[in-house]
Amino acid sequence: MSFSDLLQNKLGNFEEELSELRPSPAGSLEKFVQKFSHSSEEFNFYQSTITLRFDKDKHVYYRLGALGELLVVDGVTNTTHIINASERLVPWAAKKTVEKMLRIIPTAAREDGTIVLKPLTLAEFTTIALEAKNAHREHLEDAGDVGHMAHRCLEDSIRRAIQSDPEKIVRQLINLPSDERAINAANGGKAWMDAHHVRWIETEGKIYSRLHNFAGTADGLAICNSCEDKACCSAPFKDHLSLIDWKSSNYLNVSFLFQTAAYQHAKQEESGLDIKDRWVIRLGKSEDEAGKVEPWFMSGNDFVDDFAGFISCLNLTRLVRSADERMKAQKGNIRAIRKEQRETSKAIEKEQSKLAKALEKAEAKRLREEDKARIKAESKETREQAKQSKIKLPMETNNE
């Protein structure tokens, strides 16, 4: 078996798998409910004049149309994914692949203690290489699980404070996760809340912009004070209505600015709230960053630029999607034309074959008729010659 055959067997057909994950742009309410009722939630905005459904499995928002149709709404997080992060991610993914390959490739120790690779067939090496290529995905899934556990702990604790604490302050964390890294991240969030005297108004609130037709989930709204750390809060302030967003990523990303600006705009557009500033709180979860908090403060002066950045992402996302759909439609048209051309060519070939057979048959008939006429003429000529011979013989006898 060649290397290309091994690769094809291992990789399989990813296009079919991906096609199942792509949401259709619109569909009937009945069809959607039948397919997604187990995982969809309904949310109302603008005094219940707009209804959104959220598919939790695919993380896709739908707006209920006037005729009951479901229209896909751009999500804030997915929109900012249009920002190219490959400069960081590609080297990191390559590093994770190499690290996993070094972990799983068979080795042996020589008598002098030197570690060497065991002999491998091409098929065995191909299997190891293709298993290692998913290392970055496994790491992301593990990190995502840790971040999700920490986020859920903070969310539960904040919700408890909103419901039961007179000042809406998180006095202690509840539902602590079992993973030590998630506990470290959650404790980091609690430390930031304590330092800024955070009083919560809302947690995990859905947002929708009627003006720009995008939706998402804001981690929370709270009243905050500045802390004493100048590196965190360069100027003192008190009782600011702030939008809070928890992050458990490995670094602070510019897309976070655009995301939080989108949440702020949607909140202000619908309710007229005067949100003073935004916070992105990156929570360390690895052993090296246990309990570390990296806050990113964005004042009201930053909002216009950050929201303009989000709108640029939104417009680019829609332009790319429109171009993709146009290219897909054009490819479909080309395939249809090619198919029609093939069918027409086959039909022409079939007609030409029938005509050729008819001509061949006619020619054969003509040749048969010619042969028949020739044979008839020859027979006639033979008879005439025989007749002439009979007449001539008696005449010759009389003359004698």
Q: What is the pLDDT of residues 216-272, one digit of tens each?
A: 999 999 999 999 999 999 999 999 999 999 998 777 889 999 999 999 999 999 999
Backbone phi and psi for residue 344, each to the nearest 5 degrees, phi listed first = -65, -40
Range list of β-strands (E), 197-333: 199-209, 214-224, 240-247, 277-283, 293-298
Range list of β-strands (E), 1-147: 26-28, 40-45, 50-55, 60-64, 69-75, 107-109, 115-117
CB atoms within 10 A of CB 189: 25
For the four alpha carbons of 356, 357, 360 and 366, in that order, the dihedral sign comes to negative
Read off the pLDDT band of 64 (50, 70, 90): very high
Pairwise pLDDT comparison (132 vs 265), residue with the higher score: 265
Opening angle at CA 105, ends 100 and 107, nearest 5: 130
Read off the pLDDT band of 288 (50, 70, 90): low
Nearest to 218 by CA among 208, 209, 201, 205: 205
Backbone phi and psi for residue 237, each to the nearest 5 degrees, phi listed first = -155, 165
Structure confidence at residue 18 (pLDDT): 38
194 beta partners? none
Q: What separation, in Å, do the N-terminal and C-terminal C-alpha atoms of the chain show? A: 102
Taking only the tens place, the pLDDT of each residue in 189-223 is: 999 999 999 999 999 999 999 999 999 999 999 99
Let me know: does 42 contact 33? Beta carbons within 8 Å.
Answer: no
Using CA atoms, how far apart are residues 255 and 78, in angstroms rounded to an integer?
10
Structure confidence at residue 365 (pLDDT): 92
Taking only the tens place, the pLDDT of each residue in 5-46 is: 544 554 554 344 434 434 444 445 445 455 545 457 899 999
CB atoms within 10 A of CB 282: 23
Mean pLDDT of the chain: 84
Structure confidence at residue 339 (pLDDT): 94
Let me know: does 306 contact 200? Beta carbons within 8 Å.
Answer: no
Structure confidence at residue 400 (pLDDT): 54
Here the tokens at position 102 are: 């070094």
Average pLDDT over residues 346-366: 93
Does this model's pTM top 0.75? My answer is no
Average pLDDT over residues 365-385: 88
